[in-house]
């Protein structure tokens, strides 16, 4: 679709507010932002912001990706994510067998070949984690990797594996470099690393941390652990799950005040699952597996609401935590901002920041 015009009373670019501006879109790309006085009989929307991005989500519509590793599961994720404001997402497989990980890679490949929208690749959370911080992960699959194992996985998942969460203290530093050299983002998580081990890992190329506070060595007054290292490091980023169950809202506020632009939101959302090693059951508005908190029931939009309503984070910062910062962490060049040459992916909200519609490159999504 060429030459689409969308008008906004207020437009947040990811950096600043613009008022009474028209977004000119050509083939899904923002061609121009310009002020307007008259909107040529078109609808003028109250508020437009960049689309959200979810860098960690496992399944939707009772199709956990690790149980149903196929394009239909990723399509279900797109439907769930886009309804909640995340027009882009990173399907995730928790600690599992080699066969399941390879099938997940195949699922993404098939989804892309079928011109599926929104999927950014694959996030492997484990199995190279610390069993002492396994959380709801299945211990039978947890192990330290060999160079051969990593090389085979990199070769099979070339261009598809976007991110790997691992515990740096159980992985040889050469393994981490092997992943980094393949262009894969390495995140520290499910880790019992000491403060010193964590800082060393950050300084040697690990750029992010998976779900701050959860399944990691905590901040203590004599050993600050992975939490303390994350809070204090000048550049490492971290995801956080602001559902009030995984992390106390005040703890989110503390992290945000210290980390500022280094903290971003994920949902960590799962779905009701009756098969496989991860059988998730909805308990209220959170999921449990074998009595252990195993995933959230968040959408990115609900996470955004929690940031502004429960924690009191300014709306501009909340938008950035759901969009601009995850895009930055993932190294995405055309997402997370609304500016010329960026993809025209945006959310339409009313004056109270209620989500009323979204626009994904060439079309509206109700």
What are the residue numbers of the active site?
Answer: 268
CB within 8 A of 281, min separation 6: which ones? Answer: 272, 287, 288, 289
Torsion of CA 253, 254, 255, 257, to 10 degrees: 80
Q: How far apart are CA 22 and CA 9, in angstroms?
A: 9
User: Cβ(300)–Cβ(84) under 8 Å?
Assistant: yes
Joined together, the tokens standing for residue 215 give 């399944």
Joined together, the tokens standing for residue 201 give 């890992």
């Amino acid at each position: 679709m060429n030459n689409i015009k969308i008008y906004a009373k207020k437009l947040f670019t990811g950096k600043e507010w613009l008022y009474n501006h028209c977004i000119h879109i050509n083939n899904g790309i923002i061609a121009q932002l310009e002020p307007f006085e008259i909107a040529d009989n078109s609808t003028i929307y109250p508020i437009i912001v960049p689309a959200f991005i979810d860098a960690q989500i496992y399944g939707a519509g009772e199709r956990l990706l690790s149980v149903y590793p196929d394009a239909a599961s990723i399509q279900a994720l797109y439907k769930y994510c886009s309804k909640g404001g995340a027009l882009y997402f990173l399907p995730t497989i928790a600690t599992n067998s080699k066969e399941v990980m390879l099938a997940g890679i195949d699922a993404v490949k098939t989804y892309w070949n079928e011109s599926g929208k929104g999927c950014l690749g694959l996030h492997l959370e484990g199995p190279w984690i610390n069993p002492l911080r396994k959380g709801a992960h299945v211990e039978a699959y947890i192990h330290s990797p060999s160079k051969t194992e990593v090389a085979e996985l990199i070769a099979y998942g070339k261009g598809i594996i976007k991110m790997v969460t691992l515990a740096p203290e159980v992985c040889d530093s050469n393994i981490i470099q092997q992943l980094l050299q393949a262009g894969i983002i390495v995140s520290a998580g499910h880790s019992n690393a000491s403060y010193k081990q964590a800082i060393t890992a950050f300084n040697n190329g690990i750029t992010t941390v998976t779900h701050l506070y959860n399944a990691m060595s905590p901040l203590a007054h004599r050993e600050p652990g992975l939490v303390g290292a994350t809070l204090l490091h000048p550049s490492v980023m971290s995801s956080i799950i602001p559902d009030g169950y995984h992390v106390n809202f005040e703890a989110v506020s503390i992290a945000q005040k210290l980390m500022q632009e280094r903290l971003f939101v994920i949902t960590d959302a799962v779905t009701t699952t009756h098969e496989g090693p991860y059988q998730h059951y909805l308990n209220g508005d959170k999921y449990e597996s074998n009595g252990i908190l195993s995933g959230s029931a968040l959408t990115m939009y609900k996470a955004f609401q929690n940031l502004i309503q429960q924690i009191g984070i300014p709306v501009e910062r909340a938008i950035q935590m759901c969009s601009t910062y995850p895009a930055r962490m993932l190294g995405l060049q055309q997402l997370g901002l609304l500016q010329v040459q960026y993809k025209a992916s945006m959310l339409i909200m009313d004056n109270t920041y209620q989500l009323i519609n979204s626009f994904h490159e060439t079309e509206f999504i109700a």
